Amino acid sequence: MDGGSPAELFAHPSAILLIIGGSVSATIITSPLKAVLGIPKYIIQAFTTNKFDPKATIELLANLADKAGARFTCP
């Protein structure tokens, strides 16, 4: 950024559109059509679902960490 401020990044909306649009386009091109068409459903679900059980999430992460640790143990 050579001494510029982060606010200058938003001074060029065409650059932001190019980066975001290119990233989204590359993701869509490399993904199966079924997955791409399901994206709006997952976005809506992410912003509307209020069910969150912290205890269950912690247990899930602990179990996944145990599995990962068992898989990558050194001999």
Residue 21 has pLDDT above 90, yes or no: yes
- Beta-carbon count within 10 A of 39 CB: 13
pTM over 0.85: no
Distances from the Cα of 31 to the Cαs of 25, 34, 37, 40, 46, in angstroms?
10, 8, 10, 14, 20
Residue 71's pLDDT band (cuts 50, 70, 90): low
The answer to whether residues 33 and 39 touch, using CB atoms and an 8 Å cutoff, is: no
Distance CA 39, CA 48 (A): 14
Give the tens place of pLDDT for each residue, 25-44.
998 999 999 998 998 998 89
